[in-house]
Structure 1
Amino acid sequence: MACKRGALIVLEGVDKALQQSGRPAEMMRFPDRTTTIGKLISAYLEKKSDLEDHTVHLLFSANRWELV
């Protein structure tokens, strides 16, 4: 069975609008491809590895937690 990937919806410019209105905002970029988990995600996104959808979801979550 072929697996279709979902769509990623990105809202750009929100950080700039917040900063211009005097509110603090910090830019974060994910996935962080420098970590071990980020490298797994990167390989998946570059279609160099095949991972199950739930696994990828958990890897993205873990990659964000690495920053904490």
Structure 2
Amino acid sequence: MFPQPTEPTVAEPLEAVDSDCPTCGAAAVFAYRVVDYRGWLRVTKCRSCLHVLDSRRIRPPSRSGVA
């Protein structure tokens, strides 16, 4: 479905969220895309304790190099 990555790691840009985690109080809250068994999601998540503040389905990104 998607081509094999050629780089050793896949980097997804993180967007800092101006909010503190309601669970642990850390300021390390970011929004980014993930994919799981439900498909592509946009999550807002604490990077310290992994608490999910928000999760919603999004359209899959376009496949690179595929017309």
What's the TM-score once normalised by structure 1's chain length?
0.20
Higher-Rg structure is 1
Determine which structure has the larger strand proportion and give its number.
2
Higher relative contact order (CA 8 A, sep 6+): 1
